[in-house]
A and B are shown apart, each in its own frame.
Chain A
């Protein structure tokens, strides 16, 4: 698509409440690239937690409550692969045979994951101001498989001259978050995040970055619990910190 003058930003409930700095960094990056960013006040959640738990009526009701928040046809940028995937790929399924199916479909088609938007639409150029740093990337399963944008985060980080990317073993393996999975299958999830944190720690990277705060909540929470491990950070916050807004 051609470069739009303005975009809507879909905060996601997790970022809004737990990781607002990451969310804000994404908005600042877009603004630095010359885009007018609007954060609609009446957004709440895409409905994914209920949808993935089998409660489709509840998911539909919450998803429907988002439809009025994004009038017009500006793109909707989401700083999360999993929430973007929910809207883009599962809303059409969730709203199927509903009276507002076409509206939901139209919203779904306007959705971009943040790194996807920065690379594919804005083709941003980043200037790295930071000290030399080794990082490991954990691309979320939704960003990788549902959205197909795992390489966008790599391309953005690849522009940073001072940053070296270290590849973890089994990079494509799930970290074990899975939303309510982490609660319903807590011990399996714990075993999975143990393997993931071991693999990430073994890279020797000083920082772990991801497109999804869900994975970061899981991986970062585990590092903190284990009392040892690299700092975890959302890609938007990382890019904002490295470039100080030198984005074009």
Chain B
């Protein structure tokens, strides 16, 4: 099945799942309200966005130099740095680390980059047991589903669905739909795992070049446990997460948590700078960082598309997307859903594979309006549409450029161009359309499945205006 048919099949499935759509509508309505409460002052919000944008933009411009400094500083601190070009390399590196450490069980904090590489499956295939320790991630691991949202991976499930999952996998725990009790149950199950895991894997929110510090933002304490309790900690991140100074972190952190979950600050904020030192009572004996490229360097080459990499993965664009709320994340079929997914995934994976995502956008601008680092998402999505149909001929770095161009569609636009570039032809066309309005088909494909067909007026505005004595010359 081609990518467009497959996408439409997933969309169809989502649209026919009333429970799923209700879960998204109710969850996202709450998140949007909580975010809005965090930004009562419009001027302050815009100033904070400017500041966050500048920090990220500056870091991207200087990325090669900052990555070198990061590596040097981390190494000096005793954190081992590994570079991975693609998913396979990253997975092999991590597997190698775990193997050398004799690790058989791993607890994992939330990491979208590890979803890019399919790390869990890879490790399980190689005989290593992986337990997701973030509650949402744990839920979808039980359900054997990918995340449907980058911040709230199990957002598509309501409390009843979660309760049923817990009952199936943990029959020893009394059935409850009470969220606090469910969380408590998960805590009990996971505590035991933390205590016995050989290694912990986590993502990274910001990697600070100046100090060699890995920052991890979380709410459940699972990130702290995953990175401190086991004897080995492996962090994995995309290379774009590097920032220059420690003082760059506070503005990013503030706007990240407010934009993501509507929290002024998260419950936990971890700053990891070195493995356990002699005389210290806790912390891992070894800390590793895997820096993954996976298409990011290619994106960075383009002056416009570069903005995609400013993303701090707050998910605000997703929460505010009027298309995402109808479909949920799984319909996109990619690691990153919603507006940032539409902008990022065709660049990362190729237009020939997932370029059809660009059709799932009305260009309403809600995403760009809330993005904490001012990524011009509608502009990027529009650009990718041009890339997809070879509408932008000048030098391009996007894989699969032009692969979605269809002669029939291109022909329609050529005809449109022929009509609309010559006022005389346009006038003839509108004259015919108004005079022959009775011939307008009442059936216009998808449009008339939900609406009545529009019909040309009896006379055009130009005709009406002349009759009313307006100058029309």
A186 within 8 A of B: yes
- Interface segment among B70-78, B173-181, B231-239, B387-395: the answer is B387-395
B446 touches A18 (CB 8 A): no
In the complex, number of A-B residue pairs with CB atoms less than 8 Å apart: 213
Rounded to whole angstroms, the CA-CA distance of A233 and B184 in the bound complex is 54
B416 touches A141 (CB 8 A): no
Q: By the criterion CB–CB under 8 Å, are B361 and A182 in contact?
A: no
Q: Which residues in window 1-27 of B have CB below 8 A to A?
A: 8, 11-12, 15, 21
Contacts of B15 in A (CB 8 A): 187-188, 191
Interface positions, chain A 154-191, Cβ under 8 Å from B, are 170, 172-174, 176-179, 181-191
For the complex, give the distance between the alpha carbons of A195 and B449 in Å. 15
Q: Which of B59-67, B243-251, B292-300, B420-428 contacts A (4 or more CB under 8 A)?
A: B420-428
Q: Do B457 and A17 have beta carbons less than 8 Å apart?
A: yes
A214 to chain B, nearest CB (A): 10
A187–B447 alpha-carbon span in the complex (Å): 9
Which of chain B's residues has its CB closest to A69's CB?
B423
Q: Is A13 interfacial (CB-CB < 8 Å)?
A: yes
A11 to B364, CA, bound (A): 22
Partner of A21, one of B387, B414, B446, B457: B457
With known contacts A17-B433, A191-B326, A41–B423 Cβ distance under 8 A: yes
Mostly, the A contact residues are: helix
B413 contacts A183, C-beta separation under 8 Å: no
Indicate the size class of the contact surface on chain B: 35 or more
Are B468 and A27 in contact (CB-based, < 8 A)? yes
Chain B at the A interface: SS class: helix
Q: Is the CB of A39 within 8 A of B471?
A: yes
In the complex, are the beta carbons of A24 and B369 less than 8 A apart? no
Residues in A with CB closer than 8 Å to B460 are 16-17, 20
Chain B residues whose C-beta falls within 8 Å of the C-beta of A20 in the assembled complex:
457, 459-461, 463-464
Does B455 reach chain A (CB closer than 8 Å)?
Answer: yes
Counting CB contacts under 8 A, is A45 at the interface?
yes
Contact A28 B454 (CB under 8 A): no
Identify which of B426, B450, B453 gathers the most chain A CB atoms within 10 Å of its CB: B450
In the complex, the answer to whether A39 meets B451 with C-beta atoms within 8 Å is no
Known contacts A41-B472, A58-B416; A11/B456 CB under 8 A: no
- When C-beta atoms are compared, the residue in chain B nearest to A11 turns out to be B461
* B360 touches A (CB below 8 Å): yes
A49 near B453 with CB under 8 A, answer: no
Contact partners of B386 in chain A: CB under 8 A: 54-56
A181-B473 in contact given A50-B413, A55-B410, A187-B446 (Cβ < 8 Å):
no
Extra pairs beyond A57-B391, A181-B359 (4, CB < 8 Å) = A11-B462, A24-B465, A191-B326, A221-B447
A and B contact pairs by CB, cutoff 8 A, 7 listed: A24-B468, A38-B473, A39-B462, A54-B388, A55-B391, A55-B413, A174-B362
Mark B residues whose CB is within 8 Å of A: 8, 11-12, 15, 21, 29, 322-323, 326-327, 358-366, 368-369, 379, 382, 385-389, 391-393, 410, 413-414, 416-417, 419-423, 426, 430, 433-434, 445-457, 459-465, 468, 470-473
